[in-house]
Structure formats: structure tokens, C-alpha cells
Amino acid sequence: MTTPPAPAYSLSPAGAEALAECFGDRYRTAPEDLAHWGRDWTRSFPVAPSAVVFPESEAEVQTLVQLARTHGFKLVPSGGRTGLSGGAVAPAGEVVVSFDRMNKVLAFDPAGRLLRCQPGVVVAEVAARAQAEGLYYPVDFASAGSAQLGGSVATNAGGIKVIRYGMTRNWVAGLRVVTGAGDVLELGRGLVKDNTGYDLKQLMIGSEGTLGLVTEVTVRLTSPPGPLQVLVLALPAFPDVMNVLATFERAVPVTAFEFFSDLALEKVVARGDLSRPFAEAAPFYALIEFEGAEDAALDAFEHCLEAGWAQDGVLSQSGEQAARLWRLREDISETISAWTPYKNDIAVPVAAVPEFLAAVDDRVKAAYPDLEVVWFGHIGDGNLHLNILKPDNVSQEAFYARCHQVSPEIFAAVQALGGSISAEHGVGLLKKDYLHFSRSDAERALMQGLRRCFDPDGVLNPGKLL
């Protein structure tokens, strides 16, 4: 029997000793800890970190980077590990840096409407603190109850409110970051105006931990929206969704516009605690959340019915009913996780969504006539989630290998329409081999150069993004 090769970034005895001395019982190597903190929600990559450490301050993060440079080990930042691209996976002997203990809300500035937090604060806690101050943090997504703020910055998280409020980068007013060179950068500082050259803060947002480790985040808060209502429409044909979107955006302040296929609804309802919203099934459904203006929304709904763009609809009559209607959409990811889906998170210009979905759906069905394909997404901002479900009698390895064969064709269709191969989940390990479909040779070369500037020894999140 042959001995398996050592992980590519194995921790040396001297490195292990230095970490143990620095972190004490916050340095862990137990197999169950390595398995837990070494993975994210991606399930298609091996997990093999050498250790997990839990810094409690920026100074400790800086020391950790300096130790990594001295002893030659690599660091993988870990937040809530809710990512879907393998960005927080440690597959090759790296040291995982968990920010679970850097989880304090540090200060609130009522004049500037700014909230300063450590990176391990959970996104839902940011929203709750904003609400307690009579304000609103609008970045909202299905995993907000466990995703950490630092990770949401590192991946530029999107979610269900992007159509109204934009991505995470729109709400980051300041960052403190430890670079791969061990320098501490204070970026943005909460200023509204700062025309002093390159905006390094924005460069850090979405960099997936490859340029620096976030140690503080200052987010902007805004006034809360008025009363929100939810309308779910049954759509007879997908191209009609664009007409519905345009109609409602003219009529009411839309805060979310989502869609899901009937198969997605079928999977969610089969769990038993939710019911179908309509007696008659439809191929697709749109969920519209809007602020106030119920009469205008009903007029828009009547117009869509008369035009044949919708065949039925249900409007929430209470907060409880609105929450249950939202669950028809938000429970999809958790529900289909039982089938270990092969996921694609893609974006095209909003006007091109029907053309793109039709072309890709036909291609996927032709390639996988025996597999179930679930569509859903943030249709209002052009973001589609394509999920191919794994049959029970097929191994995960064989299933992923089969799906990988069609990914280049999907990404070529994305490229042809001027879209992105990753709308909101990042590149990580999952899509780095396909980055050329979204970034030119010149762009990728510049990205590599920037990475070397910020991380000259390559200690931060190796093998990710590029």
C-alpha cells in the first residue's frame, strides 16, 4: 500500500510550535475541528487543513501573517463558511483563520449612520442592531443568519435586495485590513468624499481573502423602507417575466423581484410545512416585494393579467403571510441541498435573461435528459441560479465530472451576452479555471500583479480566484 502524498502546504514542526505558543488553546488540530472549520457549503473539494486558529484582535491577525511568512505556511480565512464556490475551503494543509471570536459590534455613529464591527459579527446581527437604532442595513440573503460580515465583504455578497439597494460594496464605508505583507491598512474611514487616488477599499471588497484579512468593517445604514408587501404571480411563459418586471417598476417601489420554476416549488412544498399558492401549477413564478402603494400594485397586477403575462396571483395580507410567501423562494437552496446539486451562479444583462435561460435550459436538458434541473434567482438584477440535482444512484464524483463537461458551454453563452460567470458567490476554487470567460488576459495579468503587491509571499488563500 502506498503512502498518500503530504498536503502541499503542510505545517512544519517549527510553525506548529510557534502557533501553539501564540494561540494556546485557540490553536486546534483535532480531526473534527479540521473537518468543521476547513470547509464551506461547497461539497465537491477535499478538506485537509493542518490547523485552525482563532485570533481575537487585529494585532493577533498581524502576528499570524508574520508567522506564516516566517515559517512558510498558508492561511485560509474562515467566516460563517456559507460560501458556494470553495473560497473558504482548506484542501492542502493550510492553516484556517476563523474569525468566530472577533465578533463584537464596536461603535455606532448616529450622525454618520455608521456601524463599526469586527469581521465575525453575523450579518443578521448587523441588521438587528440597525433596526434597534431605527435604521436599516439592506444587504439580505438566505444565509444572513450564519454568514459573517467579513466574509460578506470578502465575497461582495448580494442577495434579495440588490434591485433596490445594490451589493455589499455599496454599504461599506470603511475597512481595516491586514495584508499578506503584514501591513495594517485603514481604508475609507467612513468618509463620504475622499478623492485621493486609488480606492483600495473597493479593491478589497470581493477579493476573497487573497489581498488581505479584514479585521474591521464600518457599514453605512439607511432609513428603513415603509410597510412591505409580497405578491406572488404565476407566469405562463418565462419571457413574460420581463414585461411583469417593467410594469411593476413603473407602478411601485420594488425592493425585490425573484423567480423560481415549478420544480423548485414542488421540492419546497414536498417538505410538508408550506402549501402551493395556487390550485393550478404554472411553469414559473415571480415574487415581488414592494413598498406601500397597494392600489398601484393591484392595478399593475390587473394589467399583467389582461396582457396574458400572468395567470394568477396572491398578495400578502399580513406579515406572517408575507413571510410564508417568501419561504417559497428562500427555502429552495436548503431544500435542494439534499440532492447535492451542481450549482451555477451566473448573471447577464437583465434584458437578456429570457434569451439566456431558454438557450441554456435547452442545452442542459439535451445533455442531461435524465436529470432534474431547478432554476431560481434574483431576476430583477439578472442573476440566475442553475441547479442540476444529483440522482441517488450516482456518486458525487461521477456526477460533478459529468456536469463539468457542460459548464464551458454555459459560460460561453454568458460571455456572448456580456455576463458574469459568478454573480454573487465569488470564484474561489470552483470557477477559477473558467475566469477567462469573464476577464480578459490583460485583466487577469493585472489581478495577478495586484495579488503579488499585497501578498508578496503568497500566504493568503492560495489557489483561490486566480
Last residue of a domain, one of 333, 355, 387: 333
The verdict on residue 311 lying in a domain is yes
Strand 51-53 with 95-98, pairing: parallel
In a domain, 96, yes or no: yes
The residues, any chain, with a CB within 8 Å of residue 286's CB and separated by 6 or more, are: 232, 233, 235, 241, 244, 245, 257, 258, 259, 310, 379
Q: What is the pLDDT of residues 93-151, one digit of tens each?
A: 999 999 999 999 999 999 999 999 999 999 999 999 999 999 999 999 989 999 999 99
With beta carbons less than 8 A apart as the criterion, state whether 119 and 214 touch. Answer: yes
User: What digits encode the pLDDT tens for the residues 294-333?
Assistant: 999 999 999 999 999 999 999 999 999 999 999 999 999 9
Residue 395's CATH number: 3.30.70.2740
List the beta strands (DSSP E) in 50-112.
51-53, 75-78, 95-98, 105-109
90 with 191, same domain: the answer is: no
Assigned domain for 2 exists: no
pLDDT grade for 293, boundaries at 50, 70 and 90: confident
Q: What is the share, in percent, of the chain residues with pLDDT greater than 90?
A: 87
Does residue 58 lie in a domain region?
Answer: yes
Work out the average pLDDT over 32-44. 91
**Residues 110 and 216 reside in one and the same domain:** yes
Answer whether residue 61 is part of any domain: yes
Burial (CB count <10 Å: 0-12, 13-18, 19+), residue 175: buried
Give every CB contact of residue 153 below 8 A, 6+ residues apart in sequence. 119, 168, 172, 175, 204, 205, 214, 217
Q: Which residues contact 377 (CB under 8 A, 6 or more apart)?
A: 258, 259, 260, 383, 384, 385
Question: For the domain that residue 60 is a member of, what is the CATH number?
Answer: 3.30.43.10
Residue 458 domain flag: no
- At 10 the pLDDT is 87
Confidence of residue 1 (pLDDT cuts 50, 70, 90): very low
**Helices and strands (H, E) in the chain, number of each type:** 16, 16
**Same domain (yes/no): 356, 327:** no
Mean pLDDT of 56-77: 98
Residue 4 covered by a domain:
no
Nearest residue to 219 via CA among 153, 134, 142: 153
Residue 6 lies in a domain: no
List the domain range (segments joined by +) for residue 429.
340-448
* Confidence tier at 364 by pLDDT (50, 70, 90): confident
Q: Are residues 129 and 184 in the same domain?
A: yes
The answer to whether residues 119 and 77 belong to one domain is no
CATH code, domain with 162: 3.30.465.10
The total number of structural domains in the chain stands at: 4
CA distances from 179 to 69, 79, 121, 213, 313 (A): 12, 17, 21, 6, 51
Which domain-ending residue is among 333, 360, 390? 333
**pLDDT given at position 396:** 87
333, 360, 375 - which closes a domain: 333
What are the φ and ψ backbone dihedral angles of 167, each rounded to 5 degrees?
-85, 180
Write down the pTM of the prediction. 0.92
- pLDDT(3) > 80: no
Other CB atoms within 10 A of residue 203 CB: 15
Q: Over 50: is that where the pLDDT of 2 sits?
A: no
